[in-house]
A and B are shown apart, each in its own frame.
Chain A
């Protein structure tokens, strides 16, 4: 592992790789499927985004300041929250506050524990570990959060009759929305569960393959993968749980009344 050499990709190599995209575009053009412009745009965008990120990370790695690392992570989280907010049409009441705080606590807490106790490197902000690990945790939690928020709002809309029937029978706001919350939680965890079930059999996970490519022993890479999957599961569950726990309340008044249709 120590003397593992990583083959550097030259610009010429990249150009060769991009040839494959051009091949795909050529095929699309020949068969008149269309999508030519979209494919071109998406691939060019991908190249520039990644190059930019590469240089940005290079800079952060060079500076090695905790502030720079934290700023990058916050920017990542903020950006994806923005993207997510734009995508969800029916937002729950107080969407940004609920989702933002839940992500902060869920991802922050898990990342802290994982990096500090499980991986246990130092210094704690070492960007080589913190950025990819936190990135994976944030990315997955964001998906879970988006599913939880979207599903809760749909469930609260569709289950009005059920919820009001329960309220009439003396249920508290929490009791009356139990089914809705349970379904939303399940929906949030579903992709993570599916990934775990398929892992190693259907797919070789990206982090593990990446580590193997850069020379890590497969046995060690697998351990990292197991650990990060556990962290992701924990972070997704905590984030979704916090979103739902705060979220359902906003659909009710303090007198256990379901509010007017909203969100």
Chain B
């Protein structure tokens, strides 16, 4: 395999792993429910995106053709992450989850 492709794959795998780890740390460390929502929607999305990209490069470099299914997984993930975050936030507002001290503004009642 082309050494340049190998470096790219290794770099992307490390980047993806790091972001997924940081997303998980955020889930454990951030102070309240609403701030925790931010971890999975961002850091983890990029993490999985980077891992998928490395998979695409690996299979392309091996000459198996471009892996369209990986691209599709990424697209589905980018489409569904905001929806699930939105539903979680709505549910939390509905049952009145407490926000951390110092939060500006309030969730509204409907």
A and B physically associate: no
Q: Which residues of B are at the interface with A, using a C-beta cutoff of 8 A?
A: none
Q: Which residues of A are at the interface with B, using a C-beta cutoff of 8 A?
A: none
